Amino acid sequence: MSLLNILRYPDPRLHKVAKPVAVFDERLKKLAADMAETMYEAPGIGLAATQVDVHEQIVVIDISDTHDALQVFINPEVVWASEEKQVYDEGCLSVPGIYDGVERPSRVKVRALDLDGKPFEVDVDGLMAVCIQHEMDHLKGKVFVEYLSPLKRNRIKTKLQKEERELMRDRKKTAVR
């Protein structure tokens, strides 16, 4: 297994729409394993393939404290969402250090395929409902900050771009030494 590079907002590749997975093979299993390793190392509780510049409908999630409840969703789709909403403070591995409230349905039923191409459904609420909706947004090319006001979104973009410039400048200084 190997760690993958996580794209950072506002990278335009985060806005690409992922294509459905058609081939269930060893490459797919390796990608899911690498995504899981990357998510745990980051550390995070969910990761969509779009975030690692693979534009296929693959999501890995593990909301457990012990990192032993990995779930893989291939070609996920929400088949039912509650009318009841909840606001949850969300963060994102592609938007490091930023957390803000996003309103989403409090319960969803999701249909997906497993790594062998077998269909399954889950009916989830709470953190799991938030996480699956957040990750599925990535597959549609949407980042959680897009739910925020334009002012907040621009502040976040400016902050992350400044951090990226400083990081690149520090790397150049280190390389020159």
92 is in an annotated binding site: yes
- Asked, for residue 64, whether it belongs to a domain, the answer is yes
Q: To which H or E segment does residue 8 belong?
A: none
138 is in an annotated binding site: yes
> Domain of 123?
12-148
H-state helical runs in the chain: 26-41, 126-139, 150-176
- Asked, for residue 162, whether it belongs to a domain, the answer is no
How far is 115 from 150, CA to CA, in rounded Å? Answer: 38
- Asked, for residue 114, whether it belongs to a domain, the answer is yes
For each of the chain's 177 residues, which pLDDT tens digit applies?
A: 799 999 999 999 999 999 999 999 999 999 999 999 999 999 999 999 999 999 999 999 999 999 999 999 999 999 999 999 999 999 999 999 999 999 999 999 999 999 999 999 999 999 999 999 999 999 999 999 999 999 999 999 999 999 888 888 887 777 765
- Does this model's pTM top 0.85? My answer is yes
How far is 14 from 123, CA to CA, in rounded Å? Answer: 27
Nearest C-alpha neighbor of 88 from the set 102, 98, 105: 102
The catalytic residue positions are 135
Given the structure tokens 């893989």, which residue do they identify?
72
- Asked, for residue 37, whether it belongs to a domain, the answer is yes
φ, ψ of residue 158 in degrees (nearest 5): -60, -45
Q: What is the pLDDT of residue 32?
A: 98
Which DSSP state fits 97? E
| Domains of the chain: total | 1
- Asked, for residue 4, whether it belongs to a domain, the answer is no
How far is 118 from 133, CA to CA, in rounded Å? Answer: 21
CATH number at residue 86: 3.90.45.10
- Asked, for residue 164, whether it belongs to a domain, the answer is no
Contact by Cβ (8 Å): 62, 70 = yes
- Asked, for residue 100, whether it belongs to a domain, the answer is yes
- Asked, for residue 97, whether it belongs to a domain, the answer is yes
CB atoms within 10 A of CB 64: 11
What are the b/e assignments for 113-138, b being 16+ CB within 10 Å? Answer: bebeeeeeeeebeeebbbbbbbbbbb
